[in-house]
């Protein structure tokens, strides 16, 4: 099964490579990005999926941001003062910043954004980032004073969420389609066109406070299938995409790609996991979850799915994070131990099928369309678990339907998803027991009182070594509880047309400096 699946991927990849010509660039002064999924909501506090967040991040600015070296620097805030041991932060805002409709940006917009995020009627998963805030006030148009009820270590990072315009949204329903499909921000790009399921077109903001971007347009094309997207890349329909491991291994290592494209490979700051619905009786027993994890061969998945471009995941932090605990007790591949744990939990193997109370152990894994990696991982997991008597079905759904009709509503048994993580290791939104309502990120309904306590302590501790000890303990507990089977940390495998200059790889990736990318005049029509 695994060998056949991998051979199919190889065959498709080789077939794509059999006919190659120079890319023809249709949008010389634009960057065209391939995306498997369409955006959904573009206001920052509602942009909870990656496609929405990518577009929203180009339209809006926060008070802070990360620079190329992962240092928090000012964005809409030019500077700040931290007082009283972190219980007060005074932000000094940039002057002369304009909203994309020409209205001035002021401190009132920051206060309004805060009031919107904490409004219980606003369906945002980010409200907990401001839970410790006592008050946000504007002493003058360019000063914001934030007071905290208790120390909050991720405070500066939390103010990186995009600020929204009070003069447009005050008194309005911010979740309405009208405002999420026609957003007005302060960012480097403005929304010009959105054709659902096809493309989103952004145009450079001529009044952007850091200077008009050198690339005139940013176009996101929605192409759900990786193979189709790759053909579009080769023939000039898009300039950038994230490659599958097979594409990177078989096609990106050629003279053709070396001539026309620049390639980037680095560990992603995130992971892929098999998440269990802990409201389902089958998964409530930790011994069952550990048994399932012991029965899944992560190294085989990395070899077969990622072609070696990744590493096993042991918990909620990738190895690049300072919160990563290298000593956790991760359930290694051991089918015999899996069967022992199943027996302890009351499941008995009869004629090759795990049974309990006359019922077989069977469940369905959800995964999304356009992700052959996740589908192949699900197939390998199905094969692994079949060896210990567990029957697995696989259901492939359109991305937004899977998230909003099944995952958010807890209408699932298990799901393969991934998290792209914040650089601060705060996991409150993912694993705190209070974050389980519809739209929240703890959709598996994980509850552990010690983890709840530690998550709060981690937020309230500024000493790095003490924080590290807290998150090492959280890592160990989650590895023990296995609310997910933590599968792998994939490598980011990116490819970008060489006509774009000024692109620099850094610890935060390549996109942090998009406004300074350029296309030299003599390269505009390279391939026509």
pTM: 0.78
Q: Which CATH entry fits the domain spanning 270-490: 1.20.1560.10, 3.30.460.10, 3.40.50.1110, 3.10.105.10?
A: 3.10.105.10
Query: Residue 20 — pLDDT band, cuts 50, 70, 90?
Result: low
- The pLDDT of residue 128: 86
Query: Could you tell me if 180 and 196 are in contact, meaning their C-beta atoms sit under 8 angstroms apart?
Result: no
Whether 2-36+188-266+498-523 shares its CATH topology with 61-166 is answered: no
- The pLDDT of residue 250: 87
Query: Residue 526 — pLDDT band, cuts 50, 70, 90?
Result: very low
Average pLDDT score, the chain: 92
CATH class, 61-166 region: alpha beta
Domain parsing of the chain, residue ranges:
2-36+188-266+498-523, 61-166, 270-490
Residue 419 has pLDDT above 90, yes or no: yes
Residue 370 has pLDDT above 90, yes or no: no
Residue 528 has pLDDT above 60, yes or no: no
Smallest CA-to-CA distance from 126 within 163, 94, 100 is with: 163
**How large is the average pLDDT for residues 54-72?**
94
Residues 163-218: pLDDT tens digits?
A: 999 999 999 999 999 999 999 999 999 999 999 999 999 999 999 999 999 999 99
**How large is the average pLDDT for residues 234-250?**
92
Residue 99 has pLDDT above 90, yes or no: yes
Cα gap 168→102, rounded to integer Å: 12
Q: What is the CA radius of gyration of the chain?
A: 24
What percent of the chain is predicted at pLDDT more than 70?
94
- Going by the DSSP 8-state scheme, the letter that residue 423 receives in this structure is S
Half-sphere exposure of 139 (CA within 13 A, CB side): 10
**How large is the average pLDDT for residues 52-69?**
95
C-beta atoms surrounding 449 within 10 Å: 8
Query: Residue 22 — pLDDT band, cuts 50, 70, 90?
Result: low
Query: Could you tell me if 276 and 413 are in contact, meaning their C-beta atoms sit under 8 angstroms apart?
Result: yes
**How large is the average pLDDT for residues 469-483?**
98
**How large is the average pLDDT for residues 80-85?**
93
**How large is the average pLDDT for residues 355-376?**
93
Residue 89 has pLDDT above 70, yes or no: yes
**How large is the average pLDDT for residues 34-55?**
94
Query: Residue 15 — pLDDT band, cuts 50, 70, 90?
Result: very low
Domain 2-36+188-266+498-523 belongs in CATH node 3.40.190.10: yes
Inter-CA distances, 40 with 58, 234, 408, Å:
15, 28, 14
C-beta atoms surrounding 337 within 10 Å: 16
- The pLDDT of residue 21: 61
Cα gap 250→248, rounded to integer Å: 6
**How large is the average pLDDT for residues 228-240?**
94
Query: Residue 523 — pLDDT band, cuts 50, 70, 90?
Result: low
**Three-state secondary structure string covering 22-85:** CCCCCCCCEEEEEECCCCCCCCHHHCCCHHHHHHHHHHCCCCEEECCCCCEEECCEEEEEEEHH
Query: Residue 254 — pLDDT band, cuts 50, 70, 90?
Result: confident
């Amino acid at each position: 099964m695994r060998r056949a699946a991998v051979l199919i991927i190889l065959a498709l990849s080789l077939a794509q490579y059999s006919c190659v010509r120079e890319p023809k660039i249709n949008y010389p002064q634009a960057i065209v990005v391939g995306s498997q999924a369409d955006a959904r909501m573009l206001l920052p506090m509602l942009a909870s999926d990656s496609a929405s967040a990518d577009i929203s991040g180009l339209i809006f600015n926060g008070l802070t941001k990360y620079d190329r070296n992962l240092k928090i620097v000012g964005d809409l805030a030019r500077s700040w003062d931290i007082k009283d041991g972190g219980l007060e932060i005074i932000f000094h805002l940039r002057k002369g910043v304009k909203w994309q409709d020409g209205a001035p940006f002021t401190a009132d917009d920051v206060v309004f954004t805060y009031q919107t995020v904490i409004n219980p009627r606003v369906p945002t998963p980010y409200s907990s980032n401001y839970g410790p805030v006592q008050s946000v006030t504007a002493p003058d148009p360019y000063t914001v004073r934030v007071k905290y009820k208790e120390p909050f270590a991720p405070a500066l990072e939390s103010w990186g969420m995009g600020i929204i315009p009070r003069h447009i949204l005050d008194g309005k329903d911010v979740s309405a389609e009208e405002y999420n499909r026609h957003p007005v921000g302060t960012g480097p790009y403005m929304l010009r066109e959105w054709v659902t399921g096809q493309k989103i077109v952004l145009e450079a903001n001529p009044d952007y406070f850091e200077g008009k971007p050198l690339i005139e347009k940013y176009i996101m094309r929605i192409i759900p299938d990786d193979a189709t997207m790759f053909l579009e890349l080769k023939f000039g329909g898009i300039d950038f995409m994230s490659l599958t491991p097979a594409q990177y291994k078989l096609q990106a290592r050629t003279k053709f790609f070396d001539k026309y494209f620049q390639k980037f490979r680095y560990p992603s700051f995130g992971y892929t996991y098999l998440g269990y619905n802990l409201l389902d009786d089958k998964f409530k027993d930790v011994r069952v979850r550990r048994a399932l994890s012991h029965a899944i061969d992560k190294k085989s998945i990395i070899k077969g799915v990622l072609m070696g471009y990744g590493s096993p995941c042991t918990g909620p932090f990738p190895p690049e994070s300072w919160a990563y605990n290298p000593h956790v007790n991760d359930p290694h591949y051991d089918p015999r131990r899996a069967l022992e744990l199943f027996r302890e939990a009351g499941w008995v193997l009869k004629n090759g099928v795990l049974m309990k109370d006359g019922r077989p152990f069977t469940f369905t894994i959800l995964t999304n369309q356009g992700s052959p990696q996740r589908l192949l991982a699900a197939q390998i997991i199905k094969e692994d678990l079949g060896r210990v008597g567990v029957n697995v079905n696989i259901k492939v759904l359109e991305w937004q339907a899977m998230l909003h009709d099944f995952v958010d509503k807890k209408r699932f048994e298990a799901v393969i998803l991934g998290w792209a993580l914040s650089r601060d290791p705060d996991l409150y939104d993912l694993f705190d027991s209070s974050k389980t309502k519809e739209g929240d990120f703890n959709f598996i309904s994980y509850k552990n009182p010690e983890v709840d306590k530690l998550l709060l302590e981690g937020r309230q501790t500024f000493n790095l070594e003490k924080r590290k000890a807290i998150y090492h303990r959280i890592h160990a507990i989650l590895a023990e509880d296995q609310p997910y089977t933590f599968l792998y940390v994939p490598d980011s495998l990116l490819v970008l047309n060489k006509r774009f200059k000024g692109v620099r790889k850094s610890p935060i990736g390549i996109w942090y400096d998009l406004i300074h990318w350029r296309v030299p005049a003599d390269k505009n029509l390279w391939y026509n």
